[in-house]
């Protein structure tokens, strides 16, 4: 349709837009994967990675970025192979088929109704959704495209909800974090009041000290001439000072 409706100049701009968007997406994805690997995956798998210095972590992030880009380029060279077929099939099937199972734990995990579903539900639903995607695309023949995309999403959704009821993993700590995220953050409401208690006692004590505080140099003893210098500070209402 683009070749039929657009002139040659605009057709070139569309192609340039495709390439620029693909390059920007690959760059951001490579940086995100490098950050996840160096900050989350590597410290969880290796004790040595937990003690990485700043320079060592930077080198590991750069190496993981290069590895991810090399793997992406290796897959790109196989788009015309019998396994991957054309690039349109790869984009539609892989993005549409993999995005659903991966997004289910991320999206539903922020909703209060699904707080019973914890890490076990997220990992199992994600893994089974990816397995269903592989089975329908490469393990079975003659499956329609709509089923190749929708069935992995449905499998991940059902397992995430079902495991949440069978094995609930909601904890007060997780509820407090989610309540803090879902709040407006302006200090109003019971959540903000519970997280940051209002210093009511401190305020009352300050007011008492203001009402009963003596001026500097004041004392209980008599001053020059036998007169008392115990003079009260004026109250916050603007009343006059009283001397005793």
Beta-bridge mates of residue 214: 232
Where are the extended beta strands (E) located within 96-149? Answer: none
Q: Which residue has the higher pLDDT, 52 or 212?
A: 52
Give pTM, 2 decimals: 0.52
End-to-end CA distance of the chain: 97
Residue 93 to residues 121, 143, 145: CA-CA distances in angstroms?
Answer: 24, 12, 8
Q: In the chain, pLDDT over 70 holds for what percent of residues?
A: 69
SS3 149: helix
Residues 180-203: what's their mean pLDDT?
A: 52
Tokens matching residue 13 = 């701009």
Residues 90-99: what's their mean pLDDT?
A: 76
Query: Looking at the predicted structure, is the pLDDT value of residue 235 above 80?
Result: no
Query: What pLDDT is attached to residue 15?
Result: 82
Query: What pLDDT is attached to residue 43?
Result: 87
Least Cα distance to 161 among 206, 212, 109 occurs for: 109
Instruction: Find which of 108-117, 147-156, 171-180 is predicted with most confidence, using mean pLDDT.
Output: 147-156
Query: What pLDDT is attached to residue 186?
Result: 54
Look at the chain and count its residues: 244
Q: In the chain, pLDDT over 90 holds for what percent of residues?
A: 8
């Amino acid at each position: 349709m683009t070749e039929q409706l657009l002139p040659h100049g605009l057709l070139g701009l569309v192609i340039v837009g495709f390439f620029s968007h693909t390059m920007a997406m690959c760059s951001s994805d490579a940086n995100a994967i490098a950050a996840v690997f160096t900050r989350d995956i590597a410290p969880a798998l290796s004790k040595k990675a937990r003690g990485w210095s700043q320079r060592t972590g930077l080198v590991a992030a750069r190496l993981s970025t290069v590895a991810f880009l090399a793997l992406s380029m290796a897959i790109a060279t196989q788009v015309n192979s019998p396994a991957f077929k054309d690039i349109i099939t790869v984009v539609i099937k892989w993005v549409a088929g993999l995005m659903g199972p991966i997004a289910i734990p991320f999206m539903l995990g922020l909703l209060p109704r699904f707080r019973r579903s914890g890490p076990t539900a997220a990992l199992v639903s994600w893994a089974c959704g990816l397995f269903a995607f592989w089975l329908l695309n490469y393990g079975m023949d003659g499956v329609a495209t709509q089923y190749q995309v929708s069935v992995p999403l449905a499998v991940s959704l059902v397992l995430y909800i079902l495991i949440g009821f069978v094995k609930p993993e909601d904890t007060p700590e997780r509820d407090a974090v989610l309540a803090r995220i879902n709040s407006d953050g302006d200090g109003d409401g019971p959540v903000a009041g519970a997280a940051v208690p209002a210093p009511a006692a401190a305020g009352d004590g300050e007011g008492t000290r203001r009402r009963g505080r003596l001026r500097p140099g004041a004392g209980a003893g008599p001053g020059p001439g036998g007169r008392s210098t115990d003079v009260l500070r004026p109250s916050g209402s603007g009343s006059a000072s009283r001397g005793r």
